[in-house]
């Protein structure tokens, strides 16, 4: 392991962390799909409540999407900013 520099290790760990952070996009995608499916079924059962169902569904999806956006922002920071590189000794 003597060939691995501190900078290389930090860059590798940043890349791995960015990949793990992007996994956070899976949950919101599944949740939003389920919410849209249930909303479509609810509108099918009660077409008169379409506007209430749609607004509630969109609010819930916006809240759920923040998790994916936080993961994406974390990945971008880890890849492009490399926050630990300036703190290397020497």
- The per-residue pLDDT for range 7-64, each reduced to its tens digit, is 888 888 888 999 998 888 888 889 889 999 999 999 999 999 999 999 999 998 998 8
3-state secondary structure of 42: helix
CB 35 within 8 A of CB 61: yes
CA distance 59 to 68: 15
CA distance 33 to 31: 5
Taking the model in full, what pTM does it have?
0.71
Q: In this structure, is residue 71 part of a structural domain?
A: yes
**Domain presence at residue 24:** yes
pLDDT for the residue 40: 93
Q: Is residue 26 part of a domain?
A: yes
Structural domains counted in the chain: 1
Judged against a pLDDT cut of 70, whether residue 87 lies above it is answered with no
pLDDT of amino acid 44: 94
Residue 56, domain CATH: 1.20.20.10
Residue-wise pLDDT for 18-29, tens only, equals 999 888 888 888
């Amino acid at each position: 392991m003597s060939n691995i520099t501190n900078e290389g290790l930090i860059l590798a760990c940043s890349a791995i962390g960015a990949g793990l952070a992007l996994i956070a996009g899976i949950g919101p995608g599944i949740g939003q799909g389920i919410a849209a499916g249930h909303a479509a079924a609810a509108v099918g059962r009660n077409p008169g409540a379409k506007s209430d169902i749609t607004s509630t569904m969109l609010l819930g999806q916006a809240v759920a999407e923040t998790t994916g956006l936080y993961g994406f922002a974390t990945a971008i920071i880890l890849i492009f900013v490399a926050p630990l590189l300036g703190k290397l000794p020497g």
